[in-house]
Structure 1
Amino acid sequence: MSGRTRLRNRFQLLAALLATVVQLPTVLWLCWLTRTPLPAVAALLISRPYLRQLRSPWHTTAPALSTYLALGWWAACLVFDVLMGPAALAVHLGVSWGVAWGLAGALSLALGVDTVLGAPRLRKHVVRIEGLAPELEGYRIGQISDVHCGPHAPEARVSSWVARLNALDLDLVTVTGDLITQGASHVEAVARALGGLRAKDGAFACMGNHDYFTDGEHLVRELEKRGVSVLRNRGVVVNREGARLYVAGVDDTWTSRDDVARALANRPEGVPAVLLAHDPNLFPQAQARAVELTLSGHTHGGQLGVPGVRRLSLARFVSRWTAGLYRQGRSWLYVNRGAGTTGPPARLGAPAELAVITLRRA
């Protein structure tokens, strides 16, 4: 069995499991409410075409109606699942079912509007690095991750995120993987949008697992053609007034293309390193090689969780580093929650974000 076939099977299984878990409470409640199995039949009819499409995600050329129906239905189910508990509690405390579900519906609508139309939050962090050259004091690195250009993040929306980063007049800008969701139809669109990134020392990207659900080489060519340097197990030296910074990128872990040692092989001695690694599970390897800062994504911060409670996050099934800034010894890791979504087009407790990391001397 080829690596791509194993990846496809794993992706299909994960999607099917998530679809089942997400829909089950809603479908059971609707079946109870209607006293018929029709909601279960309808859920199957909505989900089946999209799940069948995932057998060949690399060859998808355009989002079909089944994509919009399935993802929209799953998002509605997720919101229902999250709000069903509070609604039941309200009823238990004496609130009528009508009022409880009216409030739940209003919250659902607000969540949907915020996900589809809301802008990612801008998160700013300071990372202190020992031995940082004075010329790099205050050096600002922008990060956009998990764009997932597709039906719910079209080119125009991605371009609006790019414009927000450009307005910050950054020193360096990075893209940490999962530029598209799947299929070939959005490759050129996302490349055009991200090709608009501007920073004093350039734009750099690494590949994510979703980027190989299509022709990854085509994506790399389109990005490079538009001025975004894609770092696949390699690095470059950035010079600023005589001071140097090593910027490296690691390739995708899902398809076993990652090689941290190779990415850092040409790092000059004593030069601080910034490593772009879509998968935060590569952080221990980066720390072992004394990488000062690793920028990751992949987890979406769980995408759906309990607001304010990071421990109750679906991201924990993916990585122990779920979202935000971490430090181990002299090495830092920032896990970006991402700007886009995958699967259900909804977020709860894990807002979309753009990030700016400012380097300071320790």
Structure 2
Amino acid sequence: MKRTFGTFLTVLGLGSGGYFYANRVEPSLLEINKLEIKHSLIPTSFNGIKIVQFSDTHLGFHYNVNQFKKLVERINQLEPDLIFFTGDLLDEPNKYDEINKVALILQQLNATIGKYCIYGNHDHGGYGSEIYRNLMELSNFTVLLNESLLIKQTDGSSISLLGIDDRMLGRPDLKTAMKQVPEDSFKLLLSHAPDVADEALSYGIHWQLSGHSHGGQVKIPFVGALVIPPFAQNYPEGLYSIGENNPLSLYVNRGIGTTRLPFRFMAKPELTVFTLITSGKD
């Protein structure tokens, strides 16, 4: 009922000017959101470390390499220490014919410490699993697939970065990803699907960064998002605190591109900039 009513309002509201705005204007209104990641387990040597998260570019579906190049230039202007891509690079990997151009653009992304990524459902779809891995590794990204690593500073201090497979088309395995994680380290998880946070809470994850939902992509006043994909139902957009004792902080990025429908309405594309800070309180 909600979907039917929402669709009706969309057709009504997107006539002429509304259609133009949602199809041409809002998809180009890149918003940069800045947040602090504070925790007592973050070593002081990580104070001020800057992370840029981008997600869900869906290249090939109303988003082209020229737009992608401008996005990379904008990310570099932010001077990140770490870059995290949280999935869905190409809309249909096996049908995309500009892979080489994408690799050359991705290679231009600069991060003083490193570039890391995970799989989204579209990265697996269309027989894309190996296409995506090869492309990202060629672009100097480390692909995290149900695994973890330590991000270290020169003084030997570190934080734990974990990445799991996509929940829709992959085989996420948090238990395996946690095997090598030190108990006393700050734990940051990359998961394309936001709703994984309910499970991640039980593993002592401190922060989770996700995408997938596009922030609803098309939201109608008094109705809400027309379509929120599976595994983004509980946490569709923005910052959440989950759990009471030792809560997990989750941030859901709205992504860059579009899929299914070439519209964004009340869900601007987004880059997120996080700054790590040592805090006396968790």
In structure 2, give the amino acid aligned to 1:352. Answer: P
Q: Which moved more, 1:171-180 or 1:265-274?
A: 265-274
Rounded to whole Å, the distance in 2 between the matches of 1:224 and 1:134 is 31
Give the aligned partner of residue 198 of structure 1: 110
2:133 equivalent to 1:133: no
Do the aligned partners of 1:323 and 1:334 also contact (CA within 8 Å) in 2? yes
1:228 aligns with 2:141: yes
Q: 1:149 to 1:189 in 2, by over 3 A?
A: farther
Corresponding residue for residue 361 of structure 1: 278
**Letter aligned with residue 342 of structure 1:** T
Per-residue CA distance 1:297-350 (angstroms, 9 max, x = gap): 01111100036x7x8223386421010011124321110000110011110111
- Deviation of 1:218 (Å): 2.0
Q: Aligned partners of 2:101 and 2:11: how far apart in 1?
A: 33
Q: Percent identity?
A: 29
**Distance in 1 (alpha carbons) for counterparts of 2:228 and 2:7:** 21
Aligned residue runs from structure 1 range 201-350, under 5 A:
201-214=113-126, 215-242=128-155, 243-306=157-220, 312-313=224-225, 314-315=227-228, 318-328=232-242, 329-350=246-267
Question: Which of 88, 93, 106 is 2:17 aligned to?
Answer: 106
Which one has a larger percent strand, Structure 1 or Structure 2?
A: 2
1:146 to 1:241, Cα distance in 2 relative to 1, 3 A? same
CA contact (8 A) 2:187 2:207 kept: yes
CA distance in 2, matches of 1:299, 1:105: 26
Secondary structure of 2:134's aligned partner: helix
1:288 partner amino acid: S
Give me the whole-angstrom Cα distance separating, in 2, the residues matched to 1:276 and 1:254.
15
Q: Match of 2:206, as an amino acid? A: E
Instruction: Identify, as 1 or 2, the structure richer in helix.
Output: 1
Q: Which moved more, 1:236-245 or 1:182-191?
A: 182-191
Give 3-state SS (helix, strand or coil) of 2:150's partner. strand
Q: Which residue of 1 aligns with 2:11?
A: 80
C-alpha spacing 1:229/1:331, structure 2 compared with 1 (3 Å): same
2:191 maps to a residue whose letter is A
Task: Name the structure 2 match of 1:11.
Answer: none
TM-score in terms of structure 1 length: 0.68
1:3-18 paired onto structure 2 within 5 Å: none
User: Displacement of 1:211 after TM fit?
Assistant: 0.7
TM-score if structure 2 supplies the norm length?
A: 0.87
- Deviation, structure 1 residue 210: 0.7
1:155 to 53, 65, 89: 65
Shift of 1:354: 0.7
Shift of 1:126: 1.4
Asked if the contact 1:209–1:255 (Cα under 8 Å) also holds between the matched residues in 2, the reply is yes
| Number of residues of Structure 1 aligned to a counterpart in Structure 2 | 268
- C-alpha distance after superposition, 1:248-293 (max 9, x if no partner): 2101211241111111211123111211100011112221111111
The letter for the 2-side match of 1:139 is I
8 Å contact from structure 1 (residues 79, 108) kept in 2: no
SS for the counterpart of 2:84 is strand
- Report how far residue 110 of structure 1 moved: 2.8
Partners in 2 of 1:152 and 1:337 — Cα distance?
Answer: 16
Q: 2:220 is paired with a residue of what secondary structure?
A: coil
- The C-alpha deviation readout for 1:212-232, integer Å capped at 9, x for no partner, is 113311220121022011111
Cα displacement (A) at 1:189: 4.2
Paired with 2:268 and 2:233, the residues of 1 have a C-alpha distance of 18
Gap change, CA 1:81 and 1:306, over 3 Å in 2: same
Q: What is the distance in 2 between the residues matched to 1:286 and 1:194?
A: 30
Aligned-pair Cα RMSD in Å: 2.4
Structure 1 residue ranges without an equivalent (≥5): 1-19, 26-77, 84-103
Runs of 4+ in 1 over 3 A off after TM superposition: 20-25, 187-192
Please list every run of 5 or more consecutive structure 2 residues that lacks an aligned counterpart in the other structure.
none
How far 1:359 moved relative to its partner?
1.7
Higher relative contact order (CA 8 A, sep 6+): 2
Query: Deviation of residue 79 (structure 1)?
Result: 4.7
